[in-house]
Structures are given as structure tokens and as C-alpha cells.
């Protein structure tokens, strides 16, 4: 009887130890820290210079990116035609490609426009050039991204920007997977 009790107790302890060691899932905090490290590696690997202040003349050098208070990075390639978006207008967004910023150098993936529903559309609900939160309504895809609206307070229609968007400001898919994304040549093609 005593040997059976010791065996049962030992088995229970072994099962508890095995089950706790098998649970290798990361906490949300650990995943967010990994995301920040991945963004930093991406910035370092591409020799990007991060600006804490938006350039007074609005002109960026080839490797300069402005970091917003939300942790989004963007570079204005072309500031557009001067027509600014107003509250309630719709904006059409296209991009050359998106790059999922992976957590290691060996697992970088690229998504081109091929096969993507393109262009994307979002309805702007915000006040440009004022320090208030802006919101948007999307055209129904899970790939539209809240980070796309941030540069609209600095640029106009036909503007082209490059962006590094953390998952918290990304699409619903990127947000749920804690996936930071780089967008190359994101263009605001039309406001109406």
C-alpha cells in the first residue's frame, strides 16, 4: 500500500513537472519585447537613422525615418500634391510591397501586390495637423492598418511613404500575431 501511494504521488509530481516544462508558450510581454528587438534589428540592419523630430522642411534623407510617439516609423519619399485629407473623406492606399519583419534573419517574408486585393480604402475620421487621435473605417479586408493614417497629418494626396508599423498599429492579422510590418512605397492615391 505504501509503495502504491509513493508511486501515485511520484507519478503526479512527474506529470506536473512535465506539463509545466512542456508549456513553452510565450507571454504577451515576451512577444512584445521580441517585436521591439526585431524592429531594432531591422533598423540596424538597414542603417536607418531615427529622427525624434519631424524635419522642419518635411524632407527626409534616404535613410532617415521619423518615430512617432506611438512607436511607428515613417519616411516621406514624396509629400504629394498639397491636397490634404479632411474629416470624413475616403483615402485610397496602394503599396509596392509589404515585408513582415521577422524575428530572425532567416525567416523574412515578402508580400507583393500580386494576389492582394488592391487598392485598399479607408474612411478618415480625424483632424489633420492637430494633436488628437485619428480613426478610420476600412473597406472590409483584415489587412487595412491603422498605422496608415498617421502620416496623413504630414502629407497630401499622391504622397509616398515608407513605414515600419508595430503590430499594435497594424492590421487585425498583424495585431493578433504580434507581427511588425514594413511597407515600401505606400501611396495615398486619392482623397474624396
Contact 46, 143 (CB under 8 A): no
Contact 90, 189 (CB under 8 A): no
Among 100, 52, 103, 57, which residue's Cα sits nearest to residue 76?
57
At 52-71, the pLDDT tens digits run 999 999 999 999 999 999 89
Give the pLDDT score at 63.
95
| pLDDT computed for residue 5 by the predictor | 54
Query: Of 95, 109, 102, 48, which Cα lies nearest the Cα of 73?
Result: 48
**String of b and e for 1-22 (b: at least 16 CB within 10 Å)?**
eeeeeeeeeeeeeeeeeeeeee
The residue with greater pLDDT, 14 or 169, is: 169
User: CATH assignment of 35-191, given 3.75.10.10, 3.40.50.10440, 2.160.10.10, 3.10.50.40?
Assistant: 3.10.50.40
Q: How many helices (DSSP H) and strands (DSSP E) are in the chain?
A: 3, 10
Count of Cβ atoms closer than 10 Å to residue 28 Cβ: 8
pLDDT bracket for residue 145 (50, 70, 90)? confident
The answer to whether the CB of 63 falls within 8 A of the CB of 126 is no
Query: pLDDT tens-digit profile of 65-96?
Result: 999 998 999 999 999 999 999 888 888 888 88
On the 0-12 / 13-18 / 19+ scale of CB atoms within 10 A, 168 is: middle
- pLDDT number for residue 33: 92
Q: How confident is the model at residue 108 (pLDDT cuts 50, 70, 90)?
A: very low
3-state secondary structure 82-107: CCCCCCCCEEEEECCEEEECCCCCCC
Amino acid at each position: 500500500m505504501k509503495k502504491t501511494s509513493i508511486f501515485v504521488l511520484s507519478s503526479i509530481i512527474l506529470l506536473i513537472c512535465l506539463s509545466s516544462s512542456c508549456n513553452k508558450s510565450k507571454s504577451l510581454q515576451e512577444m512584445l519585447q521580441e517585436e521591439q528587438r526585431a524592429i531594432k534589428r531591422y533598423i540596424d540592419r538597414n542603417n536607418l537613422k531615427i529622427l525624434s523630430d519631424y524635419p522642419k522642411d518635411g524632407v527626409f534623407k534616404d535613410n532617415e525615418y521619423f518615430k512617432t510617439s506611438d512607436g511607428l516609423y515613417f519616411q516621406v519619399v514624396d509629400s504629394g500634391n498639397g491636397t490634404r485629407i479632411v474629416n470624413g473623406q475616403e483615402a485610397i492606399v496602394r503599396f509596392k510591397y509589404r515585408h513582415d519583419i521577422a524575428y530572425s534573419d532567416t525567416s523574412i517574408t515578402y508580400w507583393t501586390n500580386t494576389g492582394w486585393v488592391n487598392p485598399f480604402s479607408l474612411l478618415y475620421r480625424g483632424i489633420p495637423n492637430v494633436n488628437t487621435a485619428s480613426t478610420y473605417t476600412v473597406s472590409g479586408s483584415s489587412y487595412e492598418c491603422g498605422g496608415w493614417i498617421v502620416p496623413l497629418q504630414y502629407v497630401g494626396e499622391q504622397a509616398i511613404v515608407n513605414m515600419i508599423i508595430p503590430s499594435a498599429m497594424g492590421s487585425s492579422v498583424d495585431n493578433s500575431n504580434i507581427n511588425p510590418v514594413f511597407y515600401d512605397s505606400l501611396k495615398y492615391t486619392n482623397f474624396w
